[in-house]
Structure 1
Amino acid sequence: MIKVGVLLTQHYKLLSVAAILDVFETANKLHQEKGLELPYEIFLLNGDVQPEMFLNTYKSKWIGQNEVYNLIVIPAFTTENMQASIALNSSFIPWLIQQYHKEAEIATVCTGVFLLGATGLLDGKVATTHVDACAAFAKAFPAVKLKPDKTVTQDGRLFTSGGATSSFHLLLHILQNQCGKEIAIKAAKIFAIDMDRQNQSYFSSFQPFRHHNDEIVASAQEQIELNYQDVSTIEEMIKDIPSSRRNIVRRFKQVIGITPIEYLQQTRIEAAKKLLEQTAQQMTEVIYNSGYNDPKAFRKVFRKAVGMTPSEYRDKFQAK
């Protein structure tokens, strides 16, 4: 029987914990219906957190107890201050490292990857997280090979997933590894999850970092956002800013994490996505109104950034 430990961290997301428990319980039920031994023994692992009332039916263990788990799952966090949450959950870090070195597998749901990142176990390995948390994760853990477009990653005994419903793709991937494809398919049907979704790029939204005190960078951001339809070079973007091109580019990359040109590109793509979602404009109008003149170049950039063509994106997300 596989011992599964679900961490109850400070600021854990209740929906995330519920999804984890539901999938493993479903796998147990499917085995029970066939008269087979249950594959999973599920434990809630506490640091200093008391479980929600409905979780009292599960076996609860304190991480200080000397036990080894086959699989540890870290749920998503509800907090927006991830560094503070990592600090609050720092007691889990040496314990996770110890469990990993005792051959445990570790899986993270959505932003739960930040806690795993803090252990250093992901350094040099691939990982993913919620698309809108990728920039913050890349900045916090530059040694990790972040794959923002991926729904699920596996690197040895470490598993990560993207946002929200991607947690089901992660859990189905684990079920397939441990219980076989038949059980994974049956669980996918129960939860109405398409097993073949591997890309999450089209769920992203460009949310530029603004909580900084660099007035030069803030001015550059404002110029780009006000004039993204008309400018195409750095010189045009910064002509009214009292600083050299080299200084602005250096400071912009240091503060925001991307170059001004990349910022312009992402601003334009986000504008195009909103036009595709919210208007009935012809594709030529969308292209022009988001700052592009070359339809071929626009489609190439859009597909690379979003993971599908503009027409496919409109079909998927346009409000009817």
Structure 2
Amino acid sequence: MAAVRNPVEIGLVVYPGVQEAAVLGLTDLFQLANRLAAERSPDALRLRVSHWQLEDASRTVIRTFDSESGDSEPSAGNEPAMVILPPTLGDPIAREAAAPYAGWLRACHATGATLGSVCAGAFVLAESGLLSGRVATTHWAYRDALAIRFPDILLDAGKLVIDDGDIITAGGYMAWTDLGLKLVDRVLGPTVMMDTARFMLVDPPGREQRFYSPFAPRLNHRDEAILKVQHWLQARGARDVTLATMAEHAGLEERTFLRRFRNATGLKPTEYCQHLRVGKAREMLEATTRSIDQIAWDVGYDDPGSFRKVFARITGLVPGDYRRRFGLERAALPGGGS
């Protein structure tokens, strides 16, 4: 008779402002994975799901729910093997509120726990100092706030999930499904992960946040000359512009303009214009039935092939695939190929 293996505990942190739907959704996802794994093999490894919360009296983080006991009797004990910081629907957690969790997260990590965050849960994780010098992601709407508060993080908000071994970060609100499935894959294997994804009717991990995030230019940099050019580019859709005309509009010498533009916006002028044009193209692909060649021309590209390459580099999808995923018309459209 095979020996019974101890379950792998995944702890969900219920911090102030946490999205409770994600906490409950992850709980259900892991318990569903257990059931599907058991259907394939009665001796399959099992996931133990727990919730962890700050106890006001002791100011320590304790287990407040345990799927193994089936009740919500608070208990202390060994740290979980994996810890997830779910998203929040509000503002990122304040530093003071996150501080008690930071020490606990460091202790979990020191015992070998894998840590994960979703969306603004990255702010809680970052307070531990464990993201310093590490590659991480968060929801695109929180990108600048996280970068300002923790400038030593190597932030890549274009990715929906970044698996950096002992630390996994995920982007958007619903990316808890991606993170959850990734952990199922690690513990129970790819077959059970795919079974779980199919049962839940969600895509398995592999999406990218840039499929969904619109271009959000930096406008609060206080460089009035560059802001003037940004407004001018927005008004004309970045069509028929050159470095010389942009510098002239800013009233700056070209080299000075290049340096100040990149410092203010984080992009070269050419890259910035490409993002504006692709943003307009995304709107047309979503809301019209114009051919992709026509859209390329409308947003300022004489060569549709060049447009397709730029669009794919920025969004992660070729125009035809983008239209099929996000367009109002799901059926094949004239000129809607890749």
Match of 2:107 among 94, 98, 104: 98
Residue type at the aligned position of 1:39:
R
> Counterpart of 1:47 in 2: which secondary structure?
strand
**What residue number does 1:52 align with?**
none
1:26-175 → structure 2 map (5 Å cutoff): 26-30=32-36, 35-36=42-43, 39-47=46-54, 59=72, 61=74, 67-80=78-91, 82=92, 85-175=94-184
> Does 1:177 pair with 2:186?
yes
1:245 to partner: Cα distance: 4.1
Indicate if the aligned counterparts of 1:16 and 1:109 stay in contact, CA closer than 8 A: no
> Does 1:11 pair with 2:17?
yes
Please, which moves more after superposition, 215-224 or 38-47?
A: 38-47
Q: For the residues of structure 2 that align with 1:248 and 1:60, how far apart are their CA atoms?
A: 62
> Counterpart of 1:159 in 2: which secondary structure?
strand
Indicate if the aligned counterparts of 1:287 and 1:293 stay in contact, CA closer than 8 A: yes
Q: For the residues of structure 2 that align with 1:254 and 1:87, how far apart are their CA atoms?
A: 31
Match of 2:297 among 277, 288, 292: 288
> Counterpart of 1:46 in 2: which secondary structure?
strand
Q: Aligned in 2, Cα 1:106/1:301: closer, same or farther, shift over 3 Å?
A: same
1:248 to partner: Cα distance: 4.2
> Does 1:194 pair with 2:198?
no
C-alpha distance after superposition, 1:26-62 (max 9, x if no partner): 133345666557723322211379xxxxx89753658
Residue type at the aligned position of 1:8:
V
Residue type at the aligned position of 1:199:
E
Q: For the residues of structure 2 that align with 1:210 and 1:29, how far apart are their CA atoms?
A: 50
> Does 1:303 pair with 2:312?
yes
In the superposition, the TM-score normalised over structure 1's length comes to 0.84
1:294 to partner: Cα distance: 2.3
Please, which moves more after superposition, 86-95 or 145-154?
A: 145-154
1:271 to partner: Cα distance: 0.6
Indicate if the aligned counterparts of 1:238 and 1:245 stay in contact, CA closer than 8 A: yes
CA RMSD of aligned residues (A): 2.9
Residue type at the aligned position of 1:100:
H
Indicate if the aligned counterparts of 2:10 and 2:81 stay in contact, CA closer than 8 A: yes
Residue type at the aligned position of 2:50:
F
> Counterpart of 2:9 in 1: which secondary structure?
strand
> Counterpart of 1:176 in 2: which secondary structure?
helix
Q: For the residues of structure 1 that align with 2:326 and 2:197, how far apart are their CA atoms?
A: 23
1:76 to partner: Cα distance: 0.8
Indicate if the aligned counterparts of 1:44 and 1:61 stay in contact, CA closer than 8 A: no
In the superposition, the TM-score normalised over structure 2's length comes to 0.80
Q: For the residues of structure 2 that align with 1:257 and 1:115, how far apart are their CA atoms?
A: 25
**What residue number does 2:333 align with?**
none
Q: For the residues of structure 1 that align with 2:297 and 2:176, how far apart are their CA atoms?
A: 37
Indicate if the aligned counterparts of 2:126 and 2:132 stay in contact, CA closer than 8 A: yes
Indicate if the aligned counterparts of 2:45 and 2:188 stay in contact, CA closer than 8 A: no
Please, which moves more after superposition, 267-276 or 173-182?
A: 173-182
Q: Aligned in 2, Cα 1:90/1:249: closer, same or farther, shift over 3 Å?
A: farther
> Counterpart of 2:18 in 1: which secondary structure?
coil
> Counterpart of 2:123 in 1: which secondary structure?
helix
> How many residues matched?
311
> Counterpart of 2:94 in 1: which secondary structure?
helix
Residue type at the aligned position of 1:6:
L
Bigger Rg over Cα: 2
Indicate if the aligned counterparts of 2:238 and 2:276 stay in contact, CA closer than 8 A: no
Residue type at the aligned position of 2:98:
N
C-alpha distance after superposition, 1:139-191 (max 9, x if no partner): 54454444444333222211122324432222112112112233222211221
Indicate if the aligned counterparts of 2:120 and 2:139 stay in contact, CA closer than 8 A: yes
Indicate if the aligned counterparts of 2:83 and 2:114 stay in contact, CA closer than 8 A: yes
Indicate if the aligned counterparts of 1:46 and 1:60 stay in contact, CA closer than 8 A: no
Unpaired runs of 5+ in structure 2?
A: 1-6, 57-64, 330-338
Unpaired runs of 5+ in structure 1?
A: 50-54
Q: Aligned in 2, Cα 1:47/1:242: closer, same or farther, shift over 3 Å?
A: farther
